[in-house]
A and B are shown apart, each in its own frame.
Chain A
């Protein structure tokens, strides 16, 4: 008989599955906005009963959910992440992390033209 898995494993699975499905619908809503209900769509076009504004709202909320799940995912694996950073520290790894931070923060912090 298999040993019972601890609750934290089930939590990680829920977060990962949530990320996978929510991320998929996030991508689908982006595609719908671009190709089905966007600016080039005929007036009054809807998909699943949602018009362009409805899909834009859903896309925005799903992005917040994905960001939240991603933050939770990273928090749950913080010890592993820290371990990798400390144990395998190298200039290359530091460059990877810095580029991550730059890509995430620069569009928000960069002064507008």
Chain B
């Protein structure tokens, strides 16, 4: 049978459409399923019901200090508030990553956490902070002093609290040092602590999102414990 005179033009157009339509459909499918890597494996545990999960995300709205003082930055004259590494933005990205897993966390600026909030009602508590002068931002220490310590006291030293963190620093080494501090504070109060991602300006956006997606996966597991 002789092919129609339109068969080749139609094939050309179909191939050209496939070049962009296939990636577009793949992206939509990935968006709906929350990403291939985050889907539970066939032989893994059953997916958690979102209603059973309630993480609390607390972020410190400040910048990490740097090796060199940038006067324009501390005067708020630069456009760094748009940067991906602003802790508030990192917290937003983590909320999105959890949303992809069907989890809706509660999010607060750490220094504006309502006094009536019972942090032990959440699992886990994720603290997103910048490293300032080689230590976690002051608000994190204040959180342990003013919120965790009374809780431990009320519960006779057996606070059922799980803390994870995301440290934003100029280098991974500085972030790791800050996380060691948070680890020591957690050990002191005998609460569970898991060091989360260390974010620094050299990380690509893709890698940052990947690390936060991995943390979201671990939060889901922690929440179901």
The chain A residues found within 8 Å of chain B, CB to CB, are 5, 10, 13-14, 17-22, 25, 39-40, 43-44, 48-58, 60-62, 65, 69, 112
The binding surface of chain B is classed by DSSP as helix
Across the interface, name the chain B residue whose C-beta is closest to A20: B16
CB pair A21–B16 under 8 Å, yes or no, is yes
Q: Which residues of B contact A60 (CB under 8 A)?
A: 206
Interface presence of B83 (CB below 8 A) = yes
CB pair A10–B206 under 8 Å, yes or no, is no
CB pair B28–A22 under 8 Å, yes or no, is no
Contact status of A61 and B83, CB under 8 A, knowing A18-B16, A21-B17: no
Question: Which residues B45-89 have CB closer than 8 A to chain A?
Answer: 82-84, 89
Q: Which of B19, B30, B83, B209 contacts A18 (CB 8 A)?
A: B19
Q: Which residues of A contact B95 (CB under 8 A)?
A: 43
Interface presence of B188 (CB below 8 A) = no
CB pair A56–B31 under 8 Å, yes or no, is no
CB pair A50–B11 under 8 Å, yes or no, is no
Q: Which residues of B contact A55 (CB under 8 A)?
A: 27
The CA of A5 and the CA of B81, in the complex, are separated in Å by: 57
Question: Which residues B74-123 have CB closer than 8 A to chain A?
Answer: 82-84, 89, 92, 95-96, 99
Q: Which residues of A contact B19 (CB under 8 A)?
A: 18-19, 21-22, 65, 69
Contact status of A18 and B27, CB under 8 A, knowing A25-B20, A39-B89, A56-B205: no
Q: Which of A13, A19, A51, A112 contacts B31 (CB 8 A)?
A: A51
Interface presence of B1 (CB below 8 A) = no
CB pair B16–A17 under 8 Å, yes or no, is yes
CB distance from B124 to the nearest CB of A (A): 21
Q: Which residues of B contact A49 (CB under 8 A)?
A: 28, 31
The CA of A18 and the CA of B11, in the complex, are separated in Å by: 12
CB distance from A111 to the nearest CB of B (A): 13
Top 3 closest pairs, chain A to chain B, by CB? A17-B16, A18-B19, A58-B27
Q: Which of A17, A22, A52, A61 contacts B26 (CB 8 A)?
A: A61
Across the interface, name the chain B residue whose C-beta is closest to A112: B202
Q: Which residues of B contact A52 (CB under 8 A)?
A: 96
CB pair B16–A56 under 8 Å, yes or no, is no
CB pair B30–A57 under 8 Å, yes or no, is yes
CB distance from A45 to the nearest CB of B (A): 10
Question: Which residues B1-32 have CB closer than 8 A to chain A?
Answer: 8, 11-13, 15-20, 23-24, 26-28, 30-31
CB pair A50–B23 under 8 Å, yes or no, is no
The CA of A58 and the CA of B26, in the complex, are separated in Å by: 8
Can you list 12 residue pairs at the A/B interface with Cβ under 8 Å? A10-B12, A14-B12, A18-B15, A21-B17, A21-B19, A25-B24, A39-B84, A43-B92, A48-B28, A50-B28, A54-B30, A56-B206
